[in-house]
Amino acid sequence: RLRLPRPKTFLGLLSLQTGTELLSLLLVFNKATGIYGVLTLFTGFVPSALQVSLYILEVLMVALLAYLIPHIRQQSPFHNLALAWLYVVDSAVNAAYTAAFAAIWFLANFHDAEGPAGVDAGPTAKRDEPEFDDVAPLDTGSVAAAAVSSVNDSVASMVLVIGFTLMRIYFSLVIMAYARTILRRCMRANDPGDESGEVGKGRENSPFAEGATLGDGVKGKLGRIMVSVGRGYWLGSRMEDEEWVNDTGSK
């Protein structure tokens, strides 16, 4: 069965905790642009509805990160699990916005009458009309060069987008791995298990289960919701999981 990769370090050099802190701070700086975006609304700038929604989401992200980041070193199970999910959801939303903006750019440049395609097609479509008799012949070499340049730019943009997407996936796995480590340690502290290395029974041993240490109140309900998706990843109880937790703890 396929399993999600479980990094033990960040870039093979730093601990998962340090990596999670660095990635979270990097995300704060990245999302801070949303604050400037909101401020531009008061200068008369009129953004599109898509841009406004992006600015609002970025401001909310900064607020949530400011609340969750201090809990990384405190190793709070709930807050680090929430941080992991926040990063994953943000990565998915960011990919969706990137696709939306790319689609808008494509439509504007290749289907708009005033875009590059529309401008090139205009004189050609009417070359038989009298008023275009004196128009100089179209330089096919220049057109071909422009087309090749456009293709190269598009390919370069696609490579960059794919590269950044793969980076975000790896960063998400690092933060998820750190949250998982904290959950596993919390589970082991609550139920040391037997000599076989088993730690509880998954659902019953969840730190957010009803009646458990962290199972009360709103946080308990939210915690149960978060671990219910990918329960095998968060609450797996096999021997190799314990060895993985011990290895990450020694980094």
Q: Residue 9: inside a domain, yes or no?
A: no
pTM above 0.85, yes or no: no
Average pLDDT over residues 2-29: 92
Strand partners, 46: none
How many domains is the chain partitioned into structurally? 1
Q: Residue 4: inside a domain, yes or no?
A: no
Q: Which of 147-161, 171-185, 201-215 has the lowest mean pLDDT?
A: 147-161
What does the pLDDT read at residue 236?
A: 74
The sign of the CA dihedral 188, 191, 197, 199 is negative
Q: Is the pLDDT of residue 140 over 60?
A: no
What is the extent of the structural domain holding 87? 16-132+142-250
| 126 vs 66, more confident | 66
Q: Residue 225: inside a domain, yes or no?
A: yes
Q: Residue 204: inside a domain, yes or no?
A: yes
Q: Residue 167: inside a domain, yes or no?
A: yes
192 band by pLDDT with thresholds 50, 70 and 90: low
Q: Is the pLDDT of residue 171 over 60?
A: yes
Q: At residue 14, what are phi and psi to the nearest 5 degrees?
A: -110, 160
Q: Residue 94: inside a domain, yes or no?
A: yes
Q: Residue 36: inside a domain, yes or no?
A: yes
Question: Which residues lie closer than 8 Å to 241 by C-beta, 6 or more apart?
Answer: 184, 199
Q: Residue 5: inside a domain, yes or no?
A: no
